[in-house]
Each structure stands twice: as C-alpha cells, then as structure tokens.
Amino acid sequence: MFSADIYQKRRAGLVHGELRGLLLFLGNVDAPMNYRDNTYPFVQDASFRYFFGLDEPGLAGLIDVASGNATLFGTDPGVDDIVWTGELPSLAERAARIGVSASRPYAELSEVIQEALRTGTPVHYLAPYRSETVLELAGLFGTTAMSAKAAFSPALTRRVVALREIKGAEEIAEMESALAVTRQMHIAAMKASRPGAMEYEVVGLMEGIMRCHDWQLAYPSIFSRRGEVLHNHAHDQRLDAGDLVVNDTGASSKSGYASDITRTIPVGGRFSERQKPLYQAVLDMQLEAIKALRAGVRYLDVHKLAARVMVERMTALGFFKGDANEIVESGAYAIAFPHGLGHQIGLDVHDMEALGETLVGYDETAERSPLFGLGYLRLGKALKAGMVLTVEPGIYFIPALIDAWQKEGRHAGFINFEVFQSYRDFGGIRIEDNVLVTETGSRVLGEPIPKTIEEVEAIMAG
C-alpha cells in the first residue's frame, strides 16, 4: 500500500474531468470455494485498490464529484469477528490510511444510492465482472442483474483507463519488485527442468519461492512440455530430454502489482539444431518489437512487425511461401502465431481488461481485427509514455489447427502444409517480458532473465 497522498491524487484525477454526480467503486468480497467460510485467496478489485488502496473484502468507495469528497463504506469489526480474525483496524482508521475523512456503515450505502436516484443525481460505476458484484449493484439500484450489468458507465471507464494506464514511479517500482521474485522463480525452473522431473515438481519449487515472500501468483502458472497449448494449466507430465517447456509464470508484488514472464526451456540443457532457428526467430520477433516501441506507435503495428519477422524467418526455413507482407495481412501467419503480441499490465495481469477488452485496448487510432489470430490482440491502440505492456511473441505447432486449415485449404497459397505437418510434435515457444513505454523508446523492466540461447544454456549448465 502506498501513502495516503498517492490515493488522494488519484481520486482528484477523477473529479477534475467531465464526470458529474457520484462515482461508486465496489471492492470485492470473499469468494467461497465450496462453502461460505472456505474461500479462495482474496483478490481485491483493481480499480477499487487503485483509488482506495485497501486490500480487504466488503468495502465500497463513493466520490461526490461536486465536492470532491470521498466516503469509505464498510463494517467495523465486532468482538464476534475479532474472536476469529484477531484485532482489526476500525473502518475510520482504514479510511484515514488512504486519506479519506468520511466513513459510514456499509448498510447505509443503499440509502445514499436511493437518494441519488430520487434526486436524479447520476451514479457512475464500472462494468462488474463477478456475479456477487452484479447482484450487489442490482440490490443497491433496485433493478435486475441484467440491467445492473448493462448500466455501467463508459464515461467513468474512459476516465479510469486514462489514469490507470499511465504508471507512476511508485507503480513501476512495485512491478520491478514483483519481477525480482519472478526472476528467481524462472531461473530455479531452468535449473530444475531435468529429464525425468515431473512438471508439478518444478511448479511446486517455483511457487514455493513466491510463497516464501508471502505473495500470490498474478495468474495460474503455465508450465508445460505441451507448450503449443497456449494456456495449458495441467502440470502432470514427465519431462524428457529434448522437450521444450513453456514456462509462463509471474508473482504479484506486496501491493498487488503483477509480473508476467515467459521463458522456453530445453529439457536436458541444450537446444537441438531443429529447435535453435525457431527459438531464435521468436527471440528476434521480441527484440524487434521492443525496439519499435515508443509513444505514438500503435501496438497493432508492432504486432504486425513481429509477425513479419516470424514469416521472414519461417519462409527461409520452408514453412511459408510468397510475399511476407501479404502473408501477414491475409492472417495466414496465425497458423504458427495465433495470439496477440501482448497486453497492458499493472494491478491486473491483463490490466483493466475487466473494464472491457476493446474499450481499454482500442480507440479511434485502431480498430479490432475480425481475423483469426489478430483478433486476439487485446491492445491495438497508439501507445503513450508511461504505459507498461507485455511483449510475448510465440511460435506454436498446434496439430488440430494445422489439420483443420490443411483440410479446408485455408491460405494454401502461402502455407507449406507438409513442412508444418513434419513439426506437429514440436510443441511451442514463447518469450515474454514486461516493458515500459517512454517518449523515445522503451525499457524492459526488472533485472534481465536469461533468454538468449547462450544465456539459457549457460544457466542450465551451471
């Protein structure tokens, strides 16, 4: 948690725009795993945390735009709670920590909302993504769940995105502290990925490092020799010499900032001659993309640049035929790179996506593509200095996709299907870093994590 003045400044950024009325931020509540008192690890709503800092369930923040005053709604712990949880700060104490002078019992929130509705005062809130929040909004506004979900405020969303997408120095420092632990996790995984090891043993080792800091994962770990399965959450396979393992794992910092790193590991410690040119192609895609980043550049164009680098490398290896630009524009390249180049990252690993992927990642500078592959690009718009995003190209051999396209002859003029077929047991490669955009370029955050062929092999040999 940051000092109170950071949250005061962030909230001031909301009242100095075009918004009128009340701004409502509902924090998350505990989510039961299998019965009410056995809950998933608590994850706070990122927008609530951004403006109101507190990382506890059952809170709401309300801002009156006209006066600029903020109120924290919550419940003071009673002795019955303290018996189970130990001493807890009062609601007023929690409000003071974030520079909010007014606090009220949560039960009074509905009266405030009802009064606003009676007087025609607009109440803005962000799109809810949890059913508990949908139901809470429906109760507060006296409407149906469907209506409550639909009535979120695009104007508040735009304002929140404008503030959250430009990271302050304190946020960059948090992300780099998360990356320091994530770096240890990735290096430990490289060293432990020996033939015969089970995937879950390596995952346990990595996640143990994160738990030793009392931190949480930013997202469920992906660690798999079946790296062509883009978000493969199974960890039940034995590693064999010659496998490539995609390790997409990241911890969240103490204040909840995410890291999101992928490395691809050659089990046995050396990349094979068959793996090397494709690994190098992914690395070149990433390095060229990072080099192209700066304020004003559209991420859509950086994605296409990475795709073009891949197509050029893979054409030289016999996978594609024809003009590289045409192969990119047609979408044929997506047979090997079927996801987006990256996304913003911050308090959420896919930062602000809960507010609406297209609303956050696209604007008048870029339209979302309907093409398979490019359509999964979550961030297309022109970049601004202060944004932090992931750059995560990959090459994958997905047998079901190769078979389907071959059967229907899709992009047959550009794709040598026989060559793709001969790699159907290859797996996948992804390399991902977290990068700060600046006016003149970019900076890869955190201390470097081995990623060249030489660096990865040296760590594994050591």
Q: Which residues in this chain contact ligand GLY in the complex, by CB under 6 A?
A: 219, 248, 260, 392, 432
The beta strands (E) that lie in 49-150 are given as 60-64, 70-74, 102-105, 123-125
Closest separation in Å from C-beta 343 to Mn ion: 6
Closest to ligand GLY by CB, 103 vs 249, is 249
Query: Which of 243, 260, 348, 351 is in the footprint of Mn ion by CB under 5 A?
Result: 260
Whichever of 45 and 351 has its CB closer to ligand GLY, that residue is 351
The nearer residue to ligand GLY, 99 or 227, going by C-beta atoms, is 227
DSSP per-residue string spanning 167-178: --HHHHHHHHHH
CB nearer to ligand GLY: pick between 243 and 392: 392
Q: Does 249 bind Mn ion (CB under 5 A)?
A: no
State in angstroms the smallest separation of the CB of 390 from Mn ion. 4
Residue 165 contact partner, candidates Mn ion, ligand GLY, none, CB within 5 to 8 A by sort of partner:
none
d(CA 53, CA 97): 9
Pairwise CA distance, residues 56 & 78, whole Å: 16
Question: From the CB of 346, what's the least distance to Mn ion, in Å?
Answer: 12
Please state, in angstroms and rounded to a whole number, the distance separating the CA atoms of residues 179 and 445: 8
For the record, the structure tokens of 274 come out as 């068959």
CB of 231 to ligand GLY, least distance (A): 7
Q: How far apart are CA 275 and CA 279, in angstroms?
A: 6
Q: Strands 22-26 and 123-125: what pairing? A: parallel
- If the CB atoms of residues 260 and 353 are measured against Mn ion, the closer one turns out to be 260
| Nearest distance from C-beta of residue 451 to Mn ion, angstroms | 14
Q: 462: which 2 tokens?
A: 């050591």
Binding mask 373-392 for Mn ion (x = CB under 5 A): -----------------x-x
CA-nearest of 408, 264, 268, 414 to 336 is 414
Measured distance CA(387)–CA(168) in Å, rounded: 9
Non-local (6+) Cβ contacts of 361 within 8 A are: 299, 343, 344, 353, 368, 377, 378, 379, 380, 381
**Partner touching 219 among Mn ion, ligand GLY, none, CB below 5 to 8 Å by kind:** ligand GLY
Cα–Cα distance for residue pair 418/399, rounded to 1 Å = 12
**Residue 229 Cβ vs ligand GLY, minimum distance, rounded to whole Å:** 13
Shortest distance in whole angstroms from residue 67 CB to ligand GLY: 40
Nearer to Mn ion by C-beta: 252 or 390? 390
Q: Which amino acid is at 117?
A: L
Q: Which does 344 bind (CB under 5 to 8 A by kind): ligand GLY, Mn ion, none?
A: none
Question: From the CB of 346, what's the least distance to ligand GLY, in Å?
Answer: 13
Q: Distances in Å between the alpha carbon of 172 and those of 5, 254, 388, 444?
A: 17, 13, 8, 11
Span near Mn ion by CB under 5 A; candidates 53-61, 98-106, 258-266, 300-308:
258-266
351 contributes a contact to Mn ion by CB under 5 A: no
Helix (H) or strand (E) holding 449: none
Residue 348 in contact with Mn ion, rule: CB under 5 A:
no
Q: State which of positions 422-441 bind Mn ion (CB under 5 A).
A: 432
Phi, psi (degrees; rounded to nearest 5) at 201 = -65, -40
CB of 87 to Mn ion, least distance (A): 39
* Of residues 180 and 419, the one with the C-beta less far from Mn ion: 180
Instruction: List the single partner that 207 binds among ligand GLY, Mn ion, none, CB under 5 to 8 Å by kind.
Output: none
When the beta carbons of 243 and 248 are compared against ligand GLY, the nearer one is: 248
DSSP at 263: E
DSSP state of 251: B
433-437: strand order across its sheet: 388-391, 433-437, 442-444
Q: Does 248 bind Mn ion (CB under 5 A)?
A: yes
Residue (11 or 343) nearer to ligand GLY, CB: 343
What's the closest the beta carbon of residue 265 comes to ligand GLY, in angstroms? 16
| Binding to Mn ion in span 261-300, by CB under 5 A | 262
Provide DSSP, 3-33: -HHHHHHHHHHHHTSS--SEEEEEPP---EE
Q: What DSSP string runs through 288-303?
A: HHHHH--TT-BHHHHH
Nearer to ligand GLY, 62 or 431 (CB): 431
| Interface contacts to Mn ion, rule CB under 5 A | 248, 260, 262, 390, 392, 432
